[in-house]
Structure 1
């Protein structure tokens, strides 16, 4: 999967909070959001618009990534603590469950 494939999937599935996402899909979309944020950081009206456009797809792919390691999307709220950031980062780096889990079949990508 390439970065453009991941971006396309994330924008198509931006309302899908009940599926699973692979590590490559998550990290390539995260890379895209970082690049987009850096490129628009010094253009005040554009950076806000880009941030708002990327907010829901980023949240959606994060929830789906947690689903891949059999965690509820509600665990994203733990990122509000310092320790929680590292825990969610660990889960996002962790290999997903083999086969089907309670959130659906293993992602194809």
Structure 2
């Protein structure tokens, strides 16, 4: 999972919008720190002075070519992770509902400890200006705040709110197509709705009786009513 988050951060190389969870940020950061340490250790190991060898310290012989290769790889890797590291840090700050400009405070003594605390805190449970929430797993498509998601009965608009709900929906005025069962029910035209649902509609008589003004119950409905009457003691 940690390496999946690592690849995911590279896939969002220049993406500064949205939110990043604590797992996403620290997976990318810790793996980068480990790789940087390995590069630094090897580059120093092949660049140890000859005086250390003469003192009997078991080290690799000084090799300028290897030192140049590993030093160059170290520099290339630092450049390669600069933008994704900056982007995931900004998204992590967004996840705590903080401006991404707080990333500059990492260069200021004492303020960098404040930023570190922000990065260590868990995700804010509320939708905010920067998004509804952080992705729960790599590659999850989180609807953007204010985006319209189209459903069978109209458009569902996601709006950031501060009421604790993860997604807040707002149904617009769109209604189902005219003539559908739902449309007839909403307009209280129950007879036409019964016909569209496959229920037989009996024509009204000149002097309708009680039995003729109601749709007759089907077999399963009659059985259910009989059971209910039996349970109620009627």
TM-score normalised by L of structure 2: 0.45
In 2, Cα distance between equivalents of 1:71 and 1:55: 21
1:103 equivalenced with 2:130 (yes/no): yes
Flag the structure with larger Rg: 2
| Residue in 2 that maps onto 1:30 | 29
Superposed displacement of residue 85, structure 1 = 1.1
Q: Secondary structure at the match of 1:82?
A: coil
Does residue 40 in structure 1 map to residue 67 in structure 2?
A: no
Highest RCO, 1 vs 2 (Cα 8 Å, sep ≥ 6): 1
2:100 to 57, 66, 73: 73
> What stretches of structure 1 of length at least 5 have no aligned partner?
none
Single out whichever of 36-45 and 20-29 deviates more from structure 2.
36-45
* More strand by percentage: 2
Q: Does 1:82 align with 2:105?
A: no
- The CA deviation at 1:99 is 3.0
Q: Does 1:57 align with 2:84?
A: yes
Comparing 57-66 and 73-82, the one that deviates more: 73-82
* Corresponding residue pairs, total: 108
Tell me how large the CA RMSD over aligned residues is: 0.9
Distance across 1 between alignment mates of 2:92 and 2:131: 12
* Displaced runs of 4 or more, over 3 A: none
**1:93 aligned residue:** 120
